[in-house]
Amino acid sequence: MSTIGVSEIDELQRSLRGSLLVPGEPDYDEARKIWNAMIDKRPAMIARCAGSADVRTAVNFARDHGLPLAVRGGGHNIAGSALVNDGLVIDLSRMRSVQVAAHDMRAWVEGGAILGDVDHEAQSFGLATPLGINSTTGVGGLTLGGGFGWLTRKHGLAVDNLVSADIVIASGERLHIDHDSHPDLFWAIRGGGGNFGVVTTFEFALHAVGPMVTGGLIVFPFAQAGPVLRKYRDYVEALDDNVSVWAVLRKAPPLPFLPAAVHGTDVVALAFFSPQPPEAVQSAIADVRAFGEPVGEHVGAVPYAAWQQVFDPLLIPPARNYWKSHNFNQLSDAAIDVVIAYASKLPSEQSEIFLGLLGGAANTHAPDATAYPHREALYAMNVHTRWLDPAEDAACLAWAREFFKAAAPHAAGGVYINFLNEDEADRIAAAYGPNYRRLKEVKAQYDPDNLFRSNQNIRPGV
């Protein structure tokens, strides 16, 4: 890394339409906060870009000065890849515009938008695209890793709905890429993460959704976890694409529809979603209810945009978080037993184990159709350890790691890159799976010096 003089920093500052923050400035500490409070990195400078011209300037500056570079979208990545110590952060959090062309069922989304921005704009036309389940997550990181949520079984992953992108690559050029223009790069960004450049605009296909959909929770006592999860497993294997059901094992939050005596006790919550109205899915709701004897239930018509925010209160920063994740193609009895054994000893009030349901439209593509390869995975299981007091770090990490190890023999071997932690570089090959080799070749072509390496990194190679 070359030494950078004050005059060069001033020059960079002047050349941006946005702003440049350096240590000591009033907004600096706020700007280096991200979702996971375990991450405490101190960048040398944070370029709050206002548009693609700023992004190009910042990419050129980092490259020419040999500075470590990170790209921040929504700041949600568990591994803290949005920040880099002693380097330059391209902060896209001021680039959140969303343009909808309702007639063409398309949305153009700036690289720093969060999911709620897209839902807000698209839902005003009764449209949506598959993104994730928490409205404050960044569209950028989520999409580049694959991106799944409530609409995935019906309409596929976020990457399956990506029509084109504008991307600033390591040379500083901005390319418009799609199936016809730079098809190799367009393939790579659909699952290859932030390895290939800074996406300034994503173009998504939209679908008619809602505005009213069906959503809610059916909650069972932990004592019924065995039969409930086995019935859940058998049921979702043949589930209609119009329905999604995720399973969450955690301590019950104080939800108004649950009896007070249940609050804070271990439960199995099944989150039910369908883009259809409740009357169309009554029998599916009844099927799920019949998995056991629920202690509470609240399922019904809800505006899609509101459903997309329903889990936000459980995910508000600052909290310390540590994740461990496995994909499962199927859930054996032994896998269910391990899940239950560890859910019975959650290390903190807010920790949970969840099974996110894939399948449906997400699994109709070949593994090499996009860089996201896990087209056989039916569940992405995430061990979401979450706590407030640093004194609990050791116990929380130990629980997550032990559970991860105990579950490994029953899992598919793959993992979703967006759920990988900082300490999991040894799982990167498994995360990119059979596409890893081609990704390394595309990386060599577009970023031979690995400028974009604060991510689940793909080293250039042929």
Residue 132 in the binding site for ligand FAD (CB under 6 A): yes
Q: Which neighbouring-strand residues pair with 321?
A: 386
> Contact between 144 and ligand FAD (CB under 6 A)?
yes
In angstroms, the CA 409 to CA 425 distance is 20
- Residue number with CB closer to ligand FAD (150 or 342): 150
Query: Which of 31, 35, 61, 307 touches ligand FAD by CB under 6 A?
Result: 35
Residue 281 beta carbon to ligand FAD: minimum distance, rounded to whole angstroms: 21
- 194 makes contact with ligand FAD (CB under 6 A): yes
Q: Does 133 bind ligand FAD (CB under 6 A)?
A: yes
Is residue 351 near ligand FAD by the rule CB under 6 A? Answer: no
Binding mask 65-84 for ligand FAD (x = CB under 6 A): -----xxxxxxxxx--xx--
Cβ 358 to ligand FAD shortest distance, Å: 10
Q: Is position 219 an interface residue for ligand FAD (rule: CB under 6 A)?
A: no
Give the shortest CB-420-to-ligand FAD separation in angstroms: 9
Q: Which amino acid is at 354?
A: F
Q: Is 460 in the site for ligand FAD (CB under 6 A)?
A: no
Looking at beta carbons only, is 170 or 346 nearer to ligand FAD?
Answer: 170
* Of positions 161, 363, 418, 421, contacts ligand FAD by CB under 6 A: 418
Least distance to ligand FAD, CB of residue 224, Å? 26
Among 18, 193, 414, 460, binds ligand FAD (CB under 6 A): 193
Binding part of the chain for ligand FAD, among 40-48, 144-152, 234-242, 399-407 by CB under 6 A, reads: 144-152
Phi and psi at 245, nearest 5°, equal: -135, 120
Q: Which of 21, 49, 89, 92 binds ligand FAD (CB under 6 A)?
A: 92
Q: Which is nearer to ligand FAD, 146 or 210 (CB)?
A: 146
Q: Which is nearer to ligand FAD, 76 or 250 (CB)?
A: 76
Burial code of 359-378, b = ≥16 C-beta within 10 A, e = fewer? bbbbbebebebbbbbbbebb
Q: Which of residues 376-405 bind ligand FAD (CB under 6 A)?
A: none
Q: Which residues bind ligand FAD (CB under 6 A)?
A: 35, 70-78, 81-82, 92, 111, 132-134, 137-138, 140-142, 144-145, 147-149, 193-194, 198-199, 315, 418, 454-455
